[in-house]
Structure 1
């Protein structure tokens, strides 16, 4: 941490100097009245807002989401609550082109328009970045509490990085937290449902002094186990136990200088979901595994090792300080400083069997410090510009401990370790130039350089079984006798063929950029076109490697994105129709592939796919044909393909040419729809009813597209109905999720040596909710 602060001192020095100068200037003019801030670029007061018009800050200024020449989906906190969207994974219900997958050990995988990364290594930065008030949550596993007490969420699609935060190839999800208020406000919500589920949340907001405001929010989620053992009636797993909290403090030091402090965190003590065994992938699997009956077919039916306590003991906290100083109405300085730490400790059954074929323990931590400094301003009435810099220091320690007493592995247990020390430096700039009354040009550039140092190794458990096997292989390959003590590092060097720690560095730089044109062909009718390029940094894997070559990194990936679209307000602004077509030229896509280990057989390894592409289109319709009736529907088509001559191994160990294949876990079609009707039923109460549906077409979870790893198409339907007071202070409703009780799964894992297991989605759930607001 001290090293991180020291390396970021140049940014902090600049920020402090500017703030001190500004404070002195403000003091000298203390009796002057500051001019009023310019109004938000929202529809004029005399003009009614159109449907789907949400004021966003995606480009660091307030403007309607439908006036921005980029693909962005914005949802208010009220919309999220009504549709039962409690976390980032639930955004699949409302955001076309967004996909969520549960990885083998529970790490969330977020994908936008086919750009995602199914990886469980703690140090693997995602291609879709998550933020809260522009403060990055640099690793997806940190994002569990991001959706707590939010004003809105903005989902930006395509490469990002020229405006704020970190580089990304897929997009960014920025949650805007509900802010401390100048008047006393409070609220609470409670939900009770199937499987003894309970979700309760509350907030309190208001002034502390004339210049200091505060807000506190908390959420508690719990449920009983929803999965049952296929071989042991009465044995259950899959319970939820999570607590999230946030404290916000806003201080107006003077009329130009403000501070925003955000302290938040969460604790997860849930019981991990068990997999459903679907088949054997190794001819060396022991008889009690190869002859097992599959547990797939019913969402609630699964299996796991008897007399074993599987658990999640994860926790996270973050402290972030945002400092804003307004030199003038047109020149603003922003500093964002954040420190966060995550601790992970889980034990997961990854085979879906009642025997110990593959159980995984994951322990580790992430410490991350970031500092951003940016200056934004205007030149005349037609140019908005911004320049900034960003520094991030990450330290990750990750251990992966397989237990495989009944498997084809020649050992019963082991522990793999990976340690990353990462420093990333970035500078960025962006400009919007209104060259004609209805035409605006946009451009941005970002330079980033990352220094990544890695140390990793696979350790014998102390029993000496793995050490003896690897020592024999080392003796044979090196030509001299090798002895490995029990409990020692067993990873064999690729040059000496002797066991040693694997140490390597990955230092890479890149220049990402964006250029675009926006043309307002008529009032509230926008055409736009953009070209952008984004990068995702390279990564080392944490895995059981008997040979050092398995730990070689995947280098940085890039996406060159072409997009053209429209945003049309029609029929007296009662209909909003947005659409876009896009083409992504993908280079060095990072993905989990396979390598054949001489000792252990087929094992996972991170690889790069040299050339691939995504071609697609999306369309979204929002309309309110009559007062109280709202309809929101979206469709996305994603055509992904591996190009060139690319070969790798399937999970079953078969080498094959994979050119022409679609990306794993990338459905071609994604459809979303929501309809709601709200109308008065008395002078005091309104009644409402609504339904939402999502559809995803079939895909496959692994390279090679083998049928064992198929993810079938599925449709999910939710219903809601209830009443609320006319002033919306009270709200009561009932809900049903997965009304059709669809049996579906989002991933098929092949983490272990012998079997594949799928992770099913929840069956039908139902319940009631109540909400109260005071202001």
Structure 2
């Protein structure tokens, strides 16, 4: 698979749609199970995600800042990760790119990108559907139709619905939680007026009213009230009628989403013979209403409702070489992005007494605009050597406006506007050597850049709105790609070193007489290093094995901030808040050191017309600390998950029937963690699911 990519000097993980379906990749978060050194975590069990690639990423609850790892759909970058929710269907392929990017397309980033391509229209008629039913009454239904409308005019329409699957229950009243309830549509219209021009118009709509996974408290940080004793699959939550009335939702609301996303994109490609021009215009919207219980108890100590109203316009224009066999390959282009966002957070602290005992709301607006110019060139020398390099310049301007913090029944505090601007260069240089027809060696140095931003959650003082600085990284990478035995053994591997300046980290600020709050800040100096690799083996007849391996280490070389663990411990001893400041120089960056995922298959022909394949798959993620320097309960335990499948399919490929299981051992594990006022909590992962999937396509 992806044979031509074996001659590209990168460490990308490329995945077919078939592999994604086989491994049960149906959400953005699932991609971490099929790529090395990648961690994708749900934020408080919701549809919003944070990504970490090679240890680079940050925890942004508000999702109002640019992430170090950006998600693309059909070459359109999504400024906010939540916008990708509900779109993982009718895919063509996926690519995970680690390290700084931006000299060939789109935006500059420091951590990398996840690129998803959806299936295009076809000039002949095709249609198909699939039904997936599993434990806890979970169902996923998909369908598509594609074909010609008129001469040189084709279309594709695809849809998905997701229902059920909730596996949490409240031991206090037996209430059920976690059912999916969403549907999505995507359409594409392709016009080819001549052999050199393609115009593609796409659009999508997602409605998501799913319930979310709720937190499990593991440590009480404030007060002496005992934590609930919970079994595997149990959780507590609360919803006071007064709070439901305040946020305008029905009484008895469960932790859930009420989200709507829609957008469109226009791709225009024209080949002049000596060069190709590409224009990508897109508009994306997000309308989010999200209720979470962040203390994980039946008390109203950190019940939260968040609304988001955001839209993003992007325009990319690039000119590139159009003859792939030429020694000289090049691309130049420009990218523009404009985003507008308004958020409002409601908090119910009624049972958090005597410290608070009230309901409050924080609201703000975020305006952002950026432009960038980029270029990349490669030249193939004699003896199979290729030199390549690229340069990017980006200007980013963003400001936070109209921020108010209102305590109902007590008063409102208004904060003045803050703004930040960045004007930076990024780039790349490298060399590759096609040592043999099946072996490529490469080395490259890349500088990545990511603009600064703001923390705007539960704001109490103006100092919380001070912008954090842009992040830059200088990455050194060397790797090889080798088909050691053609069609039998492939090994791709890369090693890297990241030298960060002002790495953006979720730190802590202490508010007098209030307590510690999370604040995005900068670690002036930090580093990470490691390697990743993929082995694809076909050692004997019928047996096919894929193994991804990622290992990384990192530490802060200079990072002065409030030590949250020590500050909480001091309060527990004395009953008074005092900031315990520390410098985390030499402290591990907290990211999982080891990630493993893979699968083994036995592929067998039963008849001339029918085939069978079956086998296990596995995932391992090492321990992770969300809080800098975190130990004990501040560090997520490692976990190992085992799955399996058996599939029956004809050689025609017109249908497929699969039985599968995930988390066969029914291991209790936790995917992310955090702190909300009185407790430190974990977000639990899903238990064992057993299901079946039937699909057909013609």
**TM-score of the superposition, structure 2-length normalised?**
0.94
Asked if 1:658 is matched to 2:584, the reply is yes
2:190 is the counterpart of 1:250: yes
8 Å Cα contact 1:367-1:394 kept in structure 2: yes
Q: Secondary structure at the match of 1:141?
A: helix
What's the CA shift for 1:256?
Answer: 2.4
Query: CA–CA distance in 1 between the matches of 2:631 and 2:551?
Result: 23
**1:225 maps to which residue?**
166
Q: CA deviation at 1:650?
A: 1.1
Question: 2:2 matched to 1:54?
Answer: yes
Give the drift of 1:459: 2.5
The whole-number CA distance in structure 1 between the counterparts of 2:450 and 2:438 is 35
Residues 742 and 207 of structure 1: CA distance in aligned 2, closer, same or farther (over 3 Å): same
Distance (whole Å) between structure 2 residues aligned to residue 537 and residue 395 of structure 1: 16
Partner of 1:313: 258
Structure-to-structure mapping, 1:108-123, within 5 angstroms: 108-123=49-64
Answering whether residue 278 of structure 2 is matched by residue 345 of structure 1, we say: no
Q: Deviations over 1:677-698 (max 9, x none)?
A: 2211123321110211011111
Any conservation in 2 of the 1:181–1:205 contact (CA below 8 Å)?
yes
| 2:202 maps to 1:262 | yes
> Which residue is 2:478 aligned to?
564
Deviations along 1:529-566, one digit per CA (max 9) or x if unpaired, are 01001111111122122210011111111111000011
Give the secondary-structure state (helix, strand or coil) at the position aligned to 2:32: helix
The 10-residue stretch of structure 1 (73-82 or 307-316) with the greater mean CA deviation from structure 2: 307-316
Answering whether residue 437 of structure 2 is matched by residue 523 of structure 1, we say yes
| Residue in structure 2 matched with residue 334 of structure 1 by the alignment | 278
Counterpart of 2:301? Answer: 357
Instruction: Indicate whether 1:133 and 2:74 are aligned.
Output: yes
Judge conservation of contact 2:505–2:521 (CA < 8 Å) in 1: yes
Structure 1 position 462, deviation (Å): 3.2
Point out where structure 1 has 5 or more consecutive residues left out of the alignment.
Answer: 1-52, 56-63, 468-487, 491-499
Partner residue in 1 for 2:576: none
Instruction: State the 1:146 CA deviation.
Output: 3.9
**CA deviation map 1:313-366 (0-9, x unaligned):** 0111110000111111x3111110001110111111111101111111100211
Maintained 8 Å contact 1:546/1:599:
no
Aligned 8 A contact 2:365 2:403 in 1:
no
Q: Is the 8 A contact 1:238 1:272 kept in 2?
A: yes
1:48 corresponds in structure 2 to: none
Check conservation: 2:376, 2:389, Cα contact below 8 A.
yes
Task: State the distance in 2 between where 1:249 and 1:295 align.
Answer: 54
Cα deviation digits, residues 213-247 of structure 1 (max 9, x gap):
10011111111531011333x21211111212210
Contact 2:495–2:530 (8 Å) recurs in 1: yes
Structure-2 separation of matches of 1:295 and 1:451: 48
Structure 1 contact 277–295 (Cα < 8 Å) conserved: no
Name 1:384's counterpart in structure 2: 329
- Structure 1 distance, partners of 2:615, 2:421, is 52
Contact conserved, 2:446 with 2:474, CA < 8 A, in 1? yes
Tell me how far apart the structure 2 counterparts of residues 256 and 688 of structure 1 sit (CA, whole Å): 41
CA displacement, residues 69-103 of structure 1 (integer Å, 9 cap, x when unaligned): 01111011111111211122111221111111111
Deviation for aligned residue 1:294: 4.0
Q: How does 1:615-764 map to 2 (within 5 A)?
A: 615-644=529-558, 646-651=560-565, 652=568, 654-664=580-590, 666-750=591-675, 752-764=676-688
Q: Match of 2:689? A: 765
Q: What are structure 2's unaligned runs of at least 5 residues?
A: 241-251, 569-578
Q: What SS class does the counterpart of residue 667 from structure 1 fall into?
A: coil
Are the equivalent residues in 1 in contact too, given 2:86–2:208 (CA < 8 A)? no
Match of residue 406 from structure 1: 351
Deviation of 1:656 after TM superposition, in Å, equals 2.8
**637-646 or 313-322, larger mean C-alpha shift:** 637-646
Q: Is 1:591 aligned to 2:505, yes or no? A: yes
Mean Cα deviation higher: 623-632 or 524-533: 623-632
Cα separation, partners in 2 of 1:604 and 1:458, compared to 1, 3 Å: farther
**Residue 25 of structure 1 aligns with which residue?**
none
Normalised TM-score (structure 1): 0.84
The more displaced of 669-678 and 190-199 is 669-678
Q: How far is the alpha carbon of 1:386 from its aligned partner?
A: 0.8
Structure 1 pair 455–134 and aligned structure 2 pair: CA distance change class (3 A) = same
2:408 to 462, 487, 509: 462
Q: Report if the CA contact (8 A) 2:127-2:697 is conserved.
A: yes
Query: Paired residue for 1:239, among 176, 179, 189?
Result: 179
Matches of 1:677 and 1:235, distance apart in 2: 42
Match of 1:205 among 134, 137, 146: 146
How big is the shift at 1:655? 3.0
Determine if contact 1:398/1:542 at 8 Å carries over to the other structure: no
Are residues 1:143 and 2:78 paired?
Answer: no
CA distance in 2 between partners of 1:645 and 1:213 (Å): 55
Q: Measure, in 2, the Cα distance between the counterparts of 1:770 and 1:722.
A: 10
**1:273-312 per-position Cα deviation (integer Å, ceiling 9, x unaligned):** 2110111223xx3xxxx2223446x441111115631331
Say yes or no: does 1:507 pair with 2:406. Answer: no
Residue 456 of structure 1 deviates from its aligned partner by 4.5
Distance in 1, Cα, partners of 2:549 & 2:228 = 35
How far off is 1:707 after superposition?
1.3
1:526 & 1:621 partners in 2: Cα distance?
15
Deviations 1:138-192 (A, max 9, x none): 2111112342211111111111111111111111111121111111011111111
Count matched residues: 671
Q: 2:12 aligns with which of 69, 72, 82?
A: 72
Deviations 1:646-674 (A, max 9, x none): 3322152643332222224x110001111
> How big is each residue's C-alpha offset from its partner over 1:102-139, in whole Å with a ceiling of 9 and x where there is no partner?
11262211111111121121322111111122111121
Greater share of strand: 2
CA deviation string 1:455-508 (max 9, x = no partner):
1534324312xx3xxxxxxxxxxxxxxxxxxxx3x2xxxxxxxxx422111011
| Conserved 8 A contact 2:129-2:144 | yes
Deviating beyond 6 angstroms after TM superposition, the runs of 4 or more aligned structure 1 residues are: none
CA distance 1:401–1:173, change in 2 (3 Å): same
Tell me, yes or no, if structure 1 residue 543 matches structure 2 residue 543: no
Q: What is the aligned partner in structure 2 of residue 435 from structure 1? A: 381
Question: Are 2:530 and 1:582 aligned?
Answer: no
Q: Secondary structure at the match of 2:492?
A: strand
90, 95, 98: which one pairs with 2:35?
Answer: 95
Partner of 1:497: none
Moved more, 205-214 or 695-704: 695-704
Other structure's SS at 2:21 match: helix
Does the aligned pair in 1 maintain the 2:139–2:165 contact within 8 Å? no
- 1:605 matches 2:519: yes
Counterpart position of 2:225: 291
Q: Secondary structure at the match of 1:159?
A: coil
Q: 178-187 or 371-380: which moved more?
A: 371-380
Is the 1:632–1:673 Cα contact (8 Å) retained in structure 2?
Answer: yes
Aligned to 2:575: none
Contact preservation (8 Å) 1:419, 1:454 = yes
* Shift of residue 262, structure 1, vs aligned partner: 1.0
Shift of 1:708: 2.1
Give yes or no for contact 2:405–2:460 (8 Å, CA) kept in 1. no
Q: How does 1:2-13 map to 2 (within 5 A)?
A: none
* Partner SS state of residue 309, structure 1: coil
| Aligned-residue CA RMSD (Å) | 1.6
